[in-house]
Structure 1
Amino acid sequence: MASMGILLFFTAIYIRTRNTNAAYVNVECQTENVGQYGQQSLLQCVVKTSQDVVDPEIRVVLWKKEGVEKQVKNNPLLLFNRGEIKLKPGYSFAEPSWNVRNMNVSLLITNTAVEQEGDYTCTVITNSGDSSSSTSLKVTAKYNKPTIHSNPETITVNTDVTLMCDSDGGYPKGQLRWFDENKTEWTKSSQMEAKLTESGLFHLSSKLSLLKGSIFTKYTCKVFNASGDKEEEATFEVQHAVTPGIQTGEGLGSASKIAPVVVIGSLIVGLLVLLALLIYRKRSQRDHQGLTTCDHDDGGHQERDKTCQVSQATEKNSYWNLIDFNVYSCPT
């Protein structure tokens, strides 16, 4: 019975095509439609009739996807015939309350998948004629924010490093591009690989090899879609590990700030000591000039000689005490 119904359906289409002037009825579809992966997509088609057609009424609507073998015979996406609507899961009329006098025959895809990308045909039969038109669906999916990690994880100043960037969930095939902190592009020095996942979406991965001694502080990995528009980006900051016996840049900076203070302090202390010695020397010389000269007259010879010894011993002790000289007596 089902086979007989489908045969009658195609027979009706054939008879309508031959006996009806199709110029009175025209199906107009938007040439290209863009659908977002996982979201609803709309294939827009509207039936237009000439002014000669009065009170048009739709008898048959058929939606099919091109390139799918035996789809029309076995399971069309949408079929309205004899007041009954047959839908493949995930497809419906765009108008929830669609009826035979509604000229909007657009197709709604409820959950867009990559496999639904392609060309579609809409055929309509009315009480005044029939027509068909084609439209296409382009599926897109936005890439997720990239993730970056390094090999090795611990980076030293004398180590070659490989940065690895990954981003998935996008469609069509995109591109990963590398930039340093000065916005200079390093993509030509990288290697990118794109793999299709089971969902039909792409997984992108890129490796950037860095030689020791030529490593910047920051590297940014940006993901671009098939149209060349940037979608997401991530930045990796290179942090060098402290090598034993080698100070990091931060440590050197601290030492460079402390060293001048120590040097200046030492100079000031040295100058103060030198100034104190000069002042002390001048005072000692002045005191020396005021001492009584030793003489050896016959009168009071022993008493005067004793006084001379004490005076000169006191003078020498006060001046040379810092460098530990011995005190000598005046000659007789």
Structure 2
Amino acid sequence: MSVGFGTSTESLFKLKCQPAVGVIGQTTHISCSIELYTKPKPVVINTVTLTRSGEKKSCFAIQPFENIQIGDSRFDVENGPSLQLHNTTFSDEGEYWYIIRTNLGQDDVQFTINVTAKYSNPIITSVQKEIVNDGAADLYCSASGGYPAGTIHWFDQSNTNWTKSATLQSTQGNDGLFSLSSKLSFQKIDLLWAHFRCVVINNKYEEEGGTTSTLEIEGNYCLVYL
């Protein structure tokens, strides 16, 4: 099936699509609509074609009345011009050209798909079982299974941000998902700063999850319970 691009001068409608945000492993809904230039008329969609920007070959096309469908079977037409993408993966992220042919002409539009995956709730650990007040201390916070790459922030009980004193490692696995690991080091820790909280921040600078370490004092020592 071959469909050329370019808006037809004879088209009696305008095709519009909203940017879509999908979650890895779930169904992404791409909301599109038809705006008629004339009095309302029944619109019959004859051909739908979807092509990734920069590529010549269509990734999905369908002629519903001919029962012909080619390309990625995860795509489907939903409620007229709107689309669905099942089992979304991080590789689906990008820009697309969408064209439809109808009984009222044809039109095309460009839209984007952004893909996300939520990180697991972070976990705080420490190699040291006992932390001495005014002594050295290392705290670790880790989270996994997220996309795109995020970051980890550290806060003490007064909500002071200690992130500048931490080092972050971000690793992308073979499945495209990221794992985050942050190390917060102190040469001299003050027990007045406890309890410490680590928070996962996504690429939109939104908090996705957080956890708090419990510090309890026994004599001159503070025990870290994780």
Normalised-by-shorter TM-score class: 0.7 to 0.9
Task: Give 1:256's aligned residue.
Answer: none
CA distance in 1, matches of 2:210, 2:37: 53
Task: Give 1:254's aligned residue.
Answer: none
1:64 aligns with 2:51: yes
Aligned-pair identity in percent equals 28
Shift of 1:33: 1.6
Shift of 1:135: 0.9
Which of 44, 47, 60 is matched with 1:77 structurally? Answer: 60
Task: Give 1:46's aligned residue.
Answer: 33
Which of 192, 199, 204 is matched with 1:227 structurally? Answer: 204
Partner deviation per Cα, 1:207-256 (whole Å, 9 max, x = no partner): 1112245344321111111222212111112356x7xxxx5579xxxxxx
On the 8 A contact 1:78/1:92 being kept in 2, the answer is no
Of structures 1 and 2, the larger Rg is shown by: 1
Shift of 1:169: 1.9
Which is richer in strand?
2
SS of 1:198's partner is: coil
On the 8 A contact 2:133/2:220 being kept in 1, the answer is no
Runs of 4 or more, structure 1, over 6 Å off, are none
CA distance in 2, matches of 1:84, 1:230: 46
CA distance in 2, matches of 1:71, 1:153: 59
Which is richer in helix?
1
Query: Match of 2:78, as an amino acid?
Result: A
SS of 1:203's partner is: strand
Q: Note the residue ranges of structure 2 that are not aligned, 5 or more in a row.
A: none
On the 8 A contact 2:130/2:221 being kept in 1, the answer is no
Task: Give 2:10's aligned residue.
Answer: 22
Partner deviation per Cα, 1:159-185 (whole Å, 9 max, x = no partner): 522111101122222221111122222
Query: Match of 1:182, as an amino acid?
Result: S
Q: How does 1:172-211 map to 2 (within 5 A)?
A: 172-211=148-187
Task: Give 1:303's aligned residue.
Answer: none
CA distance in 1, matches of 2:63, 2:148: 33
Shift of 1:79: 2.3
SS of 2:210's partner is: strand
Task: Give 1:89's aligned residue.
Answer: 73
On the 8 A contact 1:22/1:131 being kept in 2, the answer is no
Q: How does 1:147-186 map to 2 (within 5 A)?
A: 147-157=123-133, 159-186=135-162
**Matched positions, count:** 220
CA distance in 1, matches of 2:41, 2:180: 57
